[in-house]
């Protein structure tokens, strides 16, 4: 499923591990939504199941954020190419030239889903 222009809700399913990574995923696929990202959100945002899918993105920063997050970097085929766990505020992630998008998730989401580099994810709209 390609990302459309809307900002509807999506889910992320790890087909390799047969686990859900996130069930309430918002899309940031235009300049303004990517610029704002999770800035201004409080720790209350970071509930299990939530995520922000940033397209396009090869790296992110947490400057101005108020809480740590997990990061999953995906290529165009939605294969996991890089992972960063518990990225604290005021940090800059690695830039992955293999990545075409990044999932920002609450901490421990990667651990709980068992997601690893090389896993194949499915991202589709919730109904």
Sign of CA dihedral 77, 79, 81, 83: positive
d(C-alpha 56, C-alpha 31), whole Å = 10
* Contact indicator for 84, 108 with CB cutoff of 8 Å: no
Does the domain formed by 17-121 have CATH 2.20.25.90? no
Q: Which of helix, strand or coil describes residue 106?
A: strand
Domain ranges of the chain: 17-121
Question: What is the model's pTM?
Answer: 0.92
Q: What is the mean pLDDT of residues 76-83?
A: 98
pLDDT value at residue 111? 98
Mean pLDDT of the chain: 92
Q: What is the mean pLDDT of residues 61-88?
A: 96
Digit-coded pLDDT (tens) for 5-62: 455 799 999 999 999 999 999 999 998 888 888 887 888 889 999 999 999 999 999 9
d(C-alpha 105, C-alpha 21), whole Å = 9
pLDDT value at residue 112? 97
């Amino acid at each position: 499923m390609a990302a459309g222009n809307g900002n509807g809700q999506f889910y992320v399913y790890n087909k390799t591990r047969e686990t859900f990574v996130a069930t309430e995923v918002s899309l940031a696929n235009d300049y303004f939504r990517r610029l704002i990202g999770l800035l201004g959100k409080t720790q209350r945002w970071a509930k299990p199941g939530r995520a922000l899918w940033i397209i396009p993105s090869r790296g992110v920063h947490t400057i101005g954020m108020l809480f740590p997050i997990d990061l999953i970097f995906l290529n165009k085929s939605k294969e996991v190419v890089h992972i960063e766990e518990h990225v604290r505020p005021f940090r800059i992630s690695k830039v992955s030239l293999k990545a075409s998008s990044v999932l920002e998730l609450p901490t421990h989401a990667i651990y709980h889903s068992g997601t690893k580099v090389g896993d194949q994810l499915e991202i589709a709209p919730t109904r």
